[in-house]
Amino acid sequence: MNPSLYLVKGILLLDNDGNRLLGKYYDSTFPTIKEQRAFEKILFTKTHKANGEIIMIDGLTIVYRSIVDLHFYVIGSTSENEIILVSVLNCFYDTISLILKRGVEKKALIDYMDTCTLALDEICDSGIILEIDPMSVMQRVSVRESDVALGEQTLFDVLKMAKDQIKSNFK
């Protein structure tokens, strides 16, 4: 087999009921939503109570991790190196943990869905691994206060920014 940059077939984040919260498929293994949902149901059924970290289903190697009410999955072909897939999984999980400062759980994930989706795109694009360092991913997806439009900031943010500006003027 020829080496390829296309290592990841999909990255998924499922809730405690097996419903997809966040995820992407990068090839045509599951071309329709119906096939994706059927695969996710089988995957969740086989892994939600298991203690393992790796499983093989339908010619795919899947590494996974669960915490509280979230289940993280990285899918590759059977010929892929599991260590590489686990590196992607760890980066995805650690980045989500950094984004969800108050705890990795479904409610917090929904609150920060836009940033989590952007993080997923920074980790892997079209099946090609772009980054496996969670701090680098976090730096790319974090929004600095000065980048947020004044109309989108809360009153607290505006007052804090004004206070900081006044402090700097008196120094």
* Residue 68: predicted pLDDT: 82
Q: Is 11 exposed, middle or buried (0-12, 13-18, 19+ CB in 10 A)?
A: buried
Task: Check which CATH number belongs to the domain holding 101 and give it.
Answer: 3.30.450.60
Whether 87 maps to a domain, the answer reads: yes
pLDDT at 146 over 50: no
Q: 85-143, pLDDT tens digit by residue?
A: 999 999 999 999 999 887 888 988 998 899 999 999 999 999 999 999 999 999 888 85
Of residues 6 and 155, the one with the higher pLDDT is: 6
**pLDDT over 70 (residue 156):** no
Reported as type and span, the H/E element at residue 22 is strand 20-25
pLDDT score at 46:
93
Decide if 104 is inside a domain: yes
For residue 151, being part of any structural domain is answered with no
Average pLDDT of the chain is 87
Structural domain includes residue 70: yes
Question: Mean of the pLDDT values across residues 154-159?
Answer: 66
Is the residue at 26 inside a domain?
yes
122 found inside a domain: yes
Please report whether residue 110 resides in a domain: yes
| pTM for this prediction | 0.81
157 pLDDT above the threshold of 70 = no
The confidence score (pLDDT) of residue 150 equals 52
Q: Does a structural domain hold residue 133?
A: yes
Confidence of residue 145 (pLDDT cuts 50, 70, 90): very low
User: Would the pLDDT of 54 be above 70?
Assistant: yes
Number of structural domains in the chain: 1
Both structure tokens of 156: 């607290």
Cα→Cα distances 129→8, 19, 72, Å: 7, 25, 17
pLDDT (tens digit, 9 = 90+) per residue, 56-80?
A: 998 999 999 998 889 999 999 998 9
For residues 16 and 45, the answer to whether their CB atoms sit within 8 Å is no
Q: Give first-to-last CA distance, the chain, whole Å.
A: 65
Domain that includes residue 68, residue range: 10-144
